[in-house]
Every structure is written in C-alpha cells, then in structure tokens.
Structure 1
C-alpha cells in the first residue's frame, strides 16, 4: 500500500461532502488502521460550546466506512454503514479530535470496526462500533 497515494485518494473523496464541511482530513493509514482528524470549533459545537456528539459520530462513520472501502474492490463493491453505536466519555472544547478505526471483523459481506475518538493528548473522547455491509454495485 502506498500510504501517501492512499491518503490523497481518501482526502479527495471528501470534496463537496459533509466531510469537507466538518473539515475531516485523513492523516494516517496502515494495513490494519485508518486515522482522520477533525478540528473542534464552533462549526461542530453543541449549545454548551463543546464538541457535538453528532459531529463525533460523523467522524467515526467516515473513518470506519473509508477503512472498509480500502479492503474491497470499489469497482465492483460498495460499502454502507448499517449500524453505529457510540459512547461519549469526555468532552472537548478546542483543538483536534482523531478517529482511529481498527478492524474487529472483516468478512466477505460485513465489516465490524472499533473507532476510538481521542484528543491531541490521546485522551479517550468517545468509543464507537461501526458495522458496514459490503454490497455488489448495480
């Protein structure tokens, strides 16, 4: 895997999407993980001036779905998230959060990912589980 090319490809997919709106950027990729970052600012606040859980969930689903896409032939297959569960354990007001997706199960038709959302000091902000289905393109 060419890490630099993969990151460029993933980041190019963000154009004109929610990911671009939330300023999500893929920053690292390996054989068993994908990492993206998102700034914590007023764009992603809830009314109390802290990171909105929905924005956190968007980061988690983004990184987990893109991780699945790296393991399938995207010319013939499409990946869709079918279940996301997320527990928020700490709040954050500024800086960046990072979503790190690691596989729990990579089957032929379903993938299960654990996504940890951490801050810049590696404090756990949220823990997520994402199930993706792998379908044939029509």
Structure 2
C-alpha cells in the first residue's frame, strides 16, 4: 500500500473522534515512523494563551496508537494505549506542531513508542513515551 493510501485511511478513521475535534491530520509515514500535525490556536490553548499540555498529550497518544496498527492484524487484533508519559519542553502560542512516533520495542503483546513533538521551525515542544497493548478481538 502506498503512503498516500495509508495516510488517507488513517485520516478517514479520525472522523467523528477527538482527532477530528483537535484537527489532527496524519501527514507522513515511513518504514519506521508516523507523523501527524495539529494546529495551535485558541481551540487548543490553556487559559494563558499557550498550547494546552492535554492537547499535546492527545496528539502524542493519537499518533503512537495509530502507529501500532502497522504491526498488528487488524482483522483479529486491536490496540489500546496503556501508559503515556510526556515532558513539555517549550510553550507554543500559534502555528503548528508535528508529532512523530518511532518504535522502541515491538513485542507480540506490547509496543513502546517515542513521540517527539516539534513546531514548524523544528523546535522541540514535547517528548512522550507511549506503551500500547495488543489485544485480540472477540
């Protein structure tokens, strides 16, 4: 499957979800990564006019969870996030942030991801570590 088809499928699955509410869009995919972008505006600000850490965490978890789908059989398995740890390095008031998930561990039942969030100038905004569990569909 080509990258355009993969990205379109991920973006279509985001309809009527938190990802759509936050305007998260999957924009790049490769052999070892998945990247999504999110606009930074008043809809994702905390009261001081800066990017809300919860919105950043939602972005990190969205891209980390989606990336695990490359390593499972979607017909018989699904993925749930079970742990997210995030450090916020720099504030952001407007523009875009980009989250890129790269796999650290790919086991049969758990996947561990590092998610780096940068802005459009490649300044580091946040770093997250996410653990997913692979479960069998009933």
Same fold by TM (over 0.5)? yes
Taking the aligned partners of 2:90 and 2:129, their CA distance within structure 1 comes to 17
Q: Is the counterpart of residue 59 in structure 1 residue 59 in structure 2?
A: yes
List runs of 5+ in structure 1 lacking aligned partners. none
CA distance in structure 2 between the aligned counterparts of 1:57 and 1:13, rounded to whole angstroms: 19
Matches within 5 A, 1:1-138: 1-138=1-138
Residues in 2 aligned to 1:42 and 1:86: alpha-carbon distance in whole angstroms: 22
Q: Which stretches of structure 1, 4 residues or more, deviate above 4 A after TM superposition? A: none
1:66-113 residue CA offsets vs partner (Å, 9 max, x unmatched): 000121111100100000000000000000000000000011100000
Count of residues paired in the alignment: 138
State the secondary structure of the residue aligned to 2:69. Answer: helix
Note the alpha carbon deviations across 1:33-70, whole angstroms, 9 max, x for none.
00000000011000000000000000000000000012
Structure 2 SS opposite 1:62: helix
Rounded to whole Å, the distance in 1 between the matches of 2:75 and 2:41 is: 36
Tell me the distance in 2 between the aligned counterparts of 1:81 and 1:64: 8
Superposition deviation, residue 125 in structure 1: 0.3
TM-score, scaled to structure 1: 0.99
1:2 deviates by: 1.1
Normalised TM-score (structure 2): 0.99
